[in-house]
Structure 1
Amino acid sequence: MIHLGKYYPPSPGGIEGHTQSLARAQATLGADVRVVVVNHAARDGRDATFEKWTRTPKAETTDGPVSVTRVGRLANVAKLDVAPGLSARLNELARNPPDVWHLHTPNITMMLAVLRCPRVAPLVITHHSDIVRQKVLKHLVRPLEVAAYRRAARILPTSAPYVDGSDLLKRFADKLTPVPLGMDLSPFQTPSAAARACAERFRERFTGPVWLCVGRLIYYKGLHVALEALKAVPGTLVVIGTGPLGAELKRKSQELGVADRVAWYGHASADELVGAYLAAAGLWFPSVARSEGFGLVQVEAMAAGCPVINTAVPASGVAWVARHEREALTVPVGDAPALAAAANRLLTEAGLKERLVAAARTRAAAEFDWLVMGGRCLDVYRGVVGRS
Structure 2
Amino acid sequence: MPKTPNYRIIHLSKYYPPDRGGIETHVQTLAQSQAAMGAAVHVVCVNAFDQKGQLSKRTQTIEEKDGDVSVIRMGRLLSLARFDICPELPTKLCQLVKEPNTLLHLHTPNPTMLMALTILRHRLPLVITHHSDVIKQKILKYGLRPFEHLVYSKSSQILTTSSPYIQGSKFLHFYHDKLSYLPLGLDASNYSQPNHKAVAFSHSLKEKYKGPIWLAVGRLVYYKAFHIAIEALRLVPGTLVIIGVGPLEQELKTLAKKLGVENRIVWLGRVNEDELVGAYHAATSLWFPSNVRSEGFGLVQVEAMASGCPVINANILCSGVPWVSRHEQEGLTVPINDSVAFAEAAQRILSEPGLRNRLVKASRKRAEYFNHKTMAQRSFKFYETVLNQERNYTVIPKPVDLL
Q: TM-score, normalised by structure 2?
A: 0.93
Q: Which runs of 5+ in 2 are unaligned?
A: 1-8, 391-403
Give the equivalent residue in structure 1 for 2:237.
Answer: 234
Give the equivalent residue in structure 2 for 1:18.
Answer: 26
Give the equivalent residue in structure 1 for 2:396.
Answer: none
Give the equivalent residue in structure 2 for 1:2.
Answer: 10
Structure 1 segment 51-66 matched on structure 2, within 5 A = 54-66=57-69
* Corresponding residue to 2:157 among 145, 150, 154: 154
* Corresponding residue to 1:39 among 15, 40, 47: 47
- After superposition, the C-alpha distances for 1:116-173 in whole angstroms (9 at most, x for unaligned) are 1122611000000000011232122111111111111000111110011101111101
8 A contact 1:309–1:331 mirrored in 2? yes
Range with bigger deviation, 189-198 or 66-75: 189-198
Count how many residue pairs are aligned between Structure 1 and Structure 2: 382
Range with bigger deviation, 133-142 or 356-365: 133-142
Structure 1 segment 91-240 matched on structure 2, within 5 A = 91-119=94-122, 121-240=124-243
Give the equivalent residue in structure 1 for 2:379.
Answer: 377
* Corresponding residue to 1:343 among 331, 343, 346: 346
Q: Quote the Cα distance in structure 2 between the aligned partners of 1:194 and 1:274.
A: 9
Secondary structure in 1 matching 2:171: helix
Range with bigger deviation, 193-202 or 323-332: 193-202
Q: Quote the Cα distance in structure 2 between the aligned partners of 1:357 and 1:247.
A: 34
Deviation of the 1:97 alpha carbon: 4.4
2:23 maps to a residue whose letter is I
Give the equivalent residue in structure 2 for 1:316.
Answer: 319
Closer, same or farther: CA 288–133 of 1 in aligned 2, 3 Å? same
Give the equivalent residue in structure 1 for 2:333.
Answer: 330
1:143 maps to a residue whose letter is P
Give the equivalent residue in structure 2 for 1:353.
Answer: 356
Secondary structure in 2 matching 1:167: coil
Range with bigger deviation, 115-124 or 282-291: 115-124
Among all aligned residue pairs of Structure 1 and Structure 2, give the percentage whose two residues are the same amino acid: 52
Deviation of the 1:75 alpha carbon: 1.1
* Corresponding residue to 2:274 among 262, 271, 275: 271
Structure 1 segment 57-76 matched on structure 2, within 5 A = 57-76=60-79
2:176 maps to a residue whose letter is A
1:87 maps to a residue whose letter is P
Range with bigger deviation, 294-303 or 180-189: 180-189
1:23 maps to a residue whose letter is A
Secondary structure in 2 matching 1:347: helix
Secondary structure in 2 matching 1:156: strand
1:257 maps to a residue whose letter is G
Closer, same or farther: CA 192–88 of 1 in aligned 2, 3 Å? same
Q: Quote the Cα distance in structure 2 between the aligned partners of 1:341 and 1:370.
A: 34
* Corresponding residue to 1:295 among 298, 307, 315: 298
- After superposition, the C-alpha distances for 1:221-273 in whole angstroms (9 at most, x for unaligned) are 00011000000011111000111111111111111111101111011111101
- After superposition, the C-alpha distances for 1:10-45 in whole angstroms (9 at most, x for unaligned) are 001111111101001111122111100000112321
Residue 85 of structure 2 corresponds to residue 85 of structure 1: no
Deviation of the 1:182 alpha carbon: 0.7
Q: Quote the Cα distance in structure 2 between the aligned partners of 1:239 and 1:120.
A: 45
Deviation of the 1:177 alpha carbon: 1.5
Moved over 3 A (4+): none
Give the equivalent residue in structure 2 for 1:51.
Answer: none
Secondary structure in 2 matching 1:342: helix
Closer, same or farther: CA 151–336 of 1 in aligned 2, 3 Å? same
Root mean square deviation, CA, Å: 1.0
Secondary structure in 2 matching 1:384: helix
2:372 maps to a residue whose letter is W
Secondary structure in 1 matching 2:65: strand
Q: TM-score, normalised by structure 1?
A: 0.97
Q: Which runs of 5+ in 1 are unaligned?
A: 49-53
Give the equivalent residue in structure 1 for 2:286.
Answer: 283
8 A contact 1:225–1:336 mirrored in 2? yes
Q: Quote the Cα distance in structure 1 between the aligned partners of 2:375 and 2:240.
A: 32
